[in-house]
Amino acid sequence: MDTVKTILRANTTFTPYKFYSGFLEDVANHYFQSGEQVVLKLFEKGDEEIHDSSYRIDPISIPLLLSLIEQLSKFHRRPLDLLLFNNRATRNVLEFLFRCDFFYIAGDNQNPNFPKGRNILKFDKSYLGAFSGKETRPEHKVRAYSLDEDELKLVLQNLSSGEKQRDFLISHFTYKVREHFQELLFDNDYTAEQYNTYIDILSELITNSVIHSKSIAFALMFVDRFKTKFSITDNGVGFSESMKLKPKTAFYEPDSLKTLLFKNITVNNISDNILSGLYTIYDTLFYSSLKDRHGLFDLMLTVVLESKGYFRIHSENTQIIVSSRMADELYDLQFYREKIFSCHIAFQLKQITKEIYERELTKESKAIKQSFLDFCKKSVSKYSEDIVYSSLRFFPVRFRGVHIEVEIPNAIENDHISD
């Protein structure tokens, strides 16, 4: 069996959807049939049909590629081979990948002036030259976050509690997020208005990735004439294993939302195993809505309601897509989320007693759980096999970890969503 698998097809844009539905399935089938270590080929035609081929890649698919490659290199305990071609057809994409630090991060770089190499890909570096000199924004770079950088593991060992470790990481990654994404966030009218919220949320997501998933978080933000796009991904334990560790509290009952969803919602031709993964995503968002920090749930609300964008989250075999088509349900969720967050703040400032705090959160958690049921029903009602408009996507291959994608229009004046 041919062990060489192509990443970029000629005359086709490689997008996150192409990754999930095509490339990932191709690689999975290879391992299912042979088990041999895959060899990756970046460009389909190579040095053939140069004048009849062009290659394009959506930048936010790059973190997904790195996440999969990291997972496979860990499995084999050595880097994967990547075949490169530098010609008229491939040069633009090759140069962009070089400028955005893809090759530094994936390779064996030890030069401190560039990102640390993760040694997950092996390739011929002589192909990385003779570029056109096309300008690339310095902020358009893929980032890799882990506990291996900046001596974080050593610092964490000297902190006495998990809460102190978390607070330190939040502070550390808040600084990193500002450094890496500030200019891009200010280039968008919507994200500029919500700048502090996005900084808080992104630093929280990165902290969760490195501390809970025990893996590298890959992230990239990209701004073009029309949209701001962001992608963050890891190949850690994922939502299912993470939610198993959540304790019962006065206002959270593990799996209670999942049980409610199984009783009230069915999706035709989708197995209970796949539905369990879908409902785990909803349960994770529900749990996030009860927290005293801005996180995943708040990202969904901010992107869709405040920034008029699209929010996609993928776990295992399932992806949910949330847009303004679900605004009514999201506004209901936002209403209860604001009450829950205010309750946390009041307790932290010692404005209310613990008894009042737990009583209020118990009441509001029941209310927001009912709103989640309405939200999930609406989401399932918009499920369609037409993937362009569907609110849910189910894929045949399970992809380890958590993968988040955001798309936000750049200018408020270009917002044509009717009242």
pLDDT, one tens digit per residue, over 207-239 is: 988 887 667 899 999 999 899 999 999 988 888
Q: Tokens representing 418? A: 């009717």
Give pLDDT tens digits for 81-105: 999 999 999 999 999 999 999 999 9
List the one residue out of 416, 408, 414, 406 whose CA is nearest residue 188. 408
Q: Give the Cβ contact number of residue 247 at 10 Å.
A: 6
Give pLDDT tens digits for 178-212: 999 999 999 999 999 999 999 999 999 999 888 87
State mean pLDDT over 131-137. Answer: 82
Question: What number of residues does the chain have?
Answer: 419
Q: Strand 217-223 relative to strand 143-145: parallel, antiparallel, unpaired? A: antiparallel
Helix (H) or strand (E) holding 175: helix 162-186
Chain centroid, CA 144 distance in Å: 13
Cβ neighbours for 53, distance < 8 A, ≥ 6 positions apart: 10, 11, 43, 44, 45, 89
List the strands of the sheet with 227-234, edge to edge.
143-145, 217-223, 227-234, 392-409, 310-322
248-263 core/surface letters (b: 16 or more CB in 10 A; e: else): eeebbebeebbebbee
Q: Give the Cβ contact number of residue 35 at 10 Å.
A: 8
